[in-house]
Structure 1
Amino acid sequence: MTETNAKTYFDAHRDELVDWRHELHRNPELAFEEHWTADFLADKLQSFGYEVDRGLGGTGVVATWGSGNGPVVGLRADMDALPIDEQTNLAYASTKPGKMHACGHDGHMTMLLAAAKYFAEQARPEDGTVRFIFQPAEEGYAGADRMIRDGLFERFPCDAVYGLHNWPGLETGAFAARVGPQMAAYDIFEIKLTGQGAHAAMPHLGRDMLLAASHLATQLQSIVSRSIDPQDTAVVSVTQIHGGDAWNVLPPEVVLRGCTRHFTPQAQDLVEARMGEICRGVATAFGIEVALDYRRTYPPTVNSAEETETSLEAARALVGAEHVSDTLPASMASEDFAFMLKEKPGCYIWLGAGSTEGGKLLHSPSYDFNDDILTLGAAYWVEIARHGLGALKSAA
């Protein structure tokens, strides 16, 4: 393909990309509610000349560029915002109380939309196809899984899939990806403790559910420190304890909730098994009922070897090898692109967003996407499409 230089193209269109990003930032929508967002994306894609498919995963948007022959790569961006009250005081801050693009999905959509615009202006290849996949409900609601169950890869086959996330704390414009687990599995749990309540002045007449819950929360921390192989890793976090509504009453019920993280099926199985054993032990020790509801939600995000090397090659072509890492430690955070990587080979890469000073952390009310990486991210999508199609053709 003889194409316009992508980086030069996006630099010339930077103001337009920033405008798109800010408009998306002003109008955040939560999981499976991304109707305005889907309209925005579909309108832009149609104005570029694409036929647009809508509705996969409820509010997903898919467009295709290419000949329909030969290899196919899928490029994915997430769409949803978070239930956070923004505290940035930016001119383009969220106009919707309690909703905010605090993870950069506004930037992710903009970069992929820009790549789609770029390709729409290039000559179509004789063989090779690119899918632009805009996915809802990444933040805890497994929109990727929903799109797959709705027939994403049956209706829009892909030979490989690629994802990208901005990464505060990594040098601005640097890239990082690794073969194998890039991000952890994410499971959630709820533990309900029930028994005889009592007057707080006469605890011997009942069972103290709050005391039992405190012991339980402490004992759960022994799973990682004493049951997980030190060369493996896991996290068990109790994030909620609910019980009681009076100063002088021992409540008959207390609920604990939280999440676990791990990279391997062995660690996941062990964490769940040990949680069950600890719950049964506390139930016996305190003479109460303890019920564990453990739910496996997101699998680990596991990059395949060939596609990771393809991603790293694409990044090196843009910023040079000195700004691309294949050894940065994996994150215990989670990502539902993992569902797509269970179905197809692919790679999830981080694009450095620079300093975290001033609270510019993911999921922070002070976060704001770094507009300085918009053009680079868009150029990466073009490079990964070129490299990905080239790798698939060579393998064929």
Structure 2
Amino acid sequence: MHILGQKQRLLPRTAERKNTNVTAASFVIAGASGTVGRQIVPALLAAGARLMLVGRDRQRLRELFPQCDCTDYAGLAEASRGFDTLVFLATINNDQVASEELFHSVNVDLALATRKQAQLAGIRKFIYFSSTHALDDANASAYARSKRAAATALRQDAGMNTQVIYLPAVVGEMTSGRLGALNVLPRPLASLALSALQSLKPTVHISLIVDALLSLPSGELKAEDPLIVSNGQRNNAVFAFVKRSLDLACAVAIVVLLGWAMVIVWIAVQLQSPGPGIFAQTRVGREGREFTCYKFRTMYVSAPNVATHEAPAASVTPLGTFLRRTKLDELPQVFNIFANQMSLVGPRPCLPSQTALIAERQDRGVLTIKPGITGMAQVNDIDMSDPVRLARWDQRYLKLRSLLLDLKLIIQTGLGKGRSDKIRQTAG
């Protein structure tokens, strides 16, 4: 996890909590002396939580948090009896220079040993904090590999209720480090500069991390679902403005540069099989609102009006196969971009009849953003045949979206990564 730092006046504190159960929350915090822990502990105390702090240097913890009970790892099992949740923050971070063995020793071995001590203490839940860097299998750093190894090991041992929480860059209460220059700027400029930086990379405010801990379910945790906590570009006017501007600029460029090709494809579709060149179909967009989505027709007009993965392979025309493989069938959706119904990047829009997928997306907040011509799930070869898996990846995009991620997904799509929704291969 990497902390950026943030002036209090630039982002709100954790909202006041009215849930009376919050005061009953009890946490054992391992790694409380770190940059994230030093901000989480005061916030949890302010929310009425009961805390036990664990670290290698108990005296250091007492100096930092004189109001808290503290122990070392050797005394964890005895001192933590009666607590409900252990939060593991101890880590060798991604900006530290360390050997492969040291990364594994702290990020994996110490986590597993601490969980065993938590089990001996009768603690019911174990929360392991990781970084979104570890979600990228292409990230081969020692840090990312150790975090992935820890998550795998924790999942394989089902002896304790465990959840891995993934965080992007953490924004704290005071501006520090590389963002220290924001302290000298006037408030409007500092706020604008921070929003611009946050639009490039996903971030999470300390208050959201605390909220996630306080809202953990009392029952079983969903360990199979990567739990990503982030700001998700909510209320970031810079991100919204730049994303919309880029959408419009690209749509105009496509019409100007490829308009002639779109006309040729439109004519070719009609010449190869009877029917219109453009296929118009009702899809579900932002906030569940329906809109008409445009594509070049790739199937015969007799094809059933169902999701692509439910359509038989015989429904696709020979030209349609080429258009789908090259993704040229998506070009008419630039007019959906002009109408502000779609974006270049976002979850693929589904049919109103795909109620299972709509429900999964609704539960995960995916319907709060516009659908896209391409998206994270699409470039990872995940289509609509598995609604739960698709919605999970859509939610991952929602949590991690940024201008740089959008650019990466556009480039990957242009290079041919990912495929269109799979056609059912049976003849019927």
Q: TM-score with structure 2 length normalisation?
A: 0.28
Comparing both chains, which one has the higher relative contact order based on Cα–Cα distances under 8 Å and sequence gaps of 6 or more? 1
User: Which of the two has higher C-alpha Rg?
Assistant: 2
Q: Which has the higher strand share?
A: 1
Q: Which has the higher helix share?
A: 2
